[in-house]
Structure 1
Amino acid sequence: MQDVLTDLMKTWNGGGTAGVATVVRTFRSAPRPPGAAMVVASDGTVGGSVSGGCVEGAVYELATDVIRTGRPVLERFGISDDDAFAVGLTCGGIIDIFVEAVSRATFPELGEVAAEIAADRPVAIATVIEHPDAAR
């Protein structure tokens, strides 16, 4: 997340909404580890990467939908190693990506979190991705 914080803060400081996509789980070989993130600003600019290019287009579309609707999405992307190699990709694997809308309304504490990171102080954020109550 730190690698996309500057991009996210530009949108947040400007009062906009960004779609933040985060790799939350991987299976077999995967191009990026859990925690890798991509930010799509409301103006369409992108920072970061969740797959090294393999599914970035689909994640971009998901992020723009999440910005528009405000509804988070957990999506699984996968390709076999054989299929990946056949089209010139370095690996296959399966990745779960969580996409959420981040704005001053959805995450008012982000400025404080960014300040702690800038001051090199430890800080943690927990996001519930799956909840027994489907409405949450």
Structure 2
Amino acid sequence: MKWTMRFEEVKVVANGSGLVAAITSLNLLHIFSEGGLQVSSFAFYGLSCVTIDKHVISLGGPVVTATGCRDQLAVVTHVSDCLPSNEQLFLYYMILIFHSFKSKSINFGYVLLYFFRSESDFERFLIRLLENS
């Protein structure tokens, strides 16, 4: 099945089973079904995002990366500009499509090394952090 959408510049695309997510230059998260319909069947919690309407989520900052697996979507965004110490602050969102949404901060003193789906447990996303000493 082929379908297209037109909106502002897409920065990151992630997919899972039956879903495609696009995050744009305006920090908007669009989630689509495999048939091209925007998904609205999810709940979310957190202060860093706002729903524009029932189909679009405004993220707290520019996207760093995103990945999907089955009905899960994980997104990492910048919280602020780079600090004078060259450290960066990130926020990590976990979205369960048709279920719930959670977010978690990555604190000062840590560097995001990589973000991936666990090969041993497909239901888990792993974040590898390096502590600055």
TM norm structure 2: 0.29
Kindly indicate which of the two structures has a greater share of residues assigned to helix.
1
Kindly indicate which of the two structures has a greater share of residues assigned to strand.
2
Structure with greater contact order relative to length (CA < 8 Å, sep ≥ 6): 1
TM norm structure 1: 0.29
